[in-house]
Amino acid sequence: MSAVVRRRVVVHGLVQGVGFRYTVRSGARSRGVAGWVRNRPDGTVEAVFEGAPDAVESMIRASEKGPRAASVERVEVAEEEPEGLTGFRVR
């Protein structure tokens, strides 16, 4: 079994009100990545990805693009210890 990694991302730019969270959820589920995504009061979107390193990296790259209507300015990525999350939810 491959190692599990966890990354927390904060996405800045025009990322709320454009379907960002639901695009992330769909991508995570299709890649077998667990975690969650939510809008933050400051206008950013925060997500936690847990899974195989390649799948998590793929989700980070997808977050840098976002859905068509989004305009991503930058993405902060932090490494964290995995918690054993299952499923992927919009919070």
Residues 6+ away with beta carbon under 8 Å from 41:
none
- To the nearest 10°, report the CA torsion of 7, 12, 17, 19: -40
Active-site residue identified among 39, 61, 74, 91: 39
21 in active site: yes
Active-site residue identified among 6, 7, 21, 25: 21
8 in active site: no
Q: Which residues are catalytic?
A: 21, 39
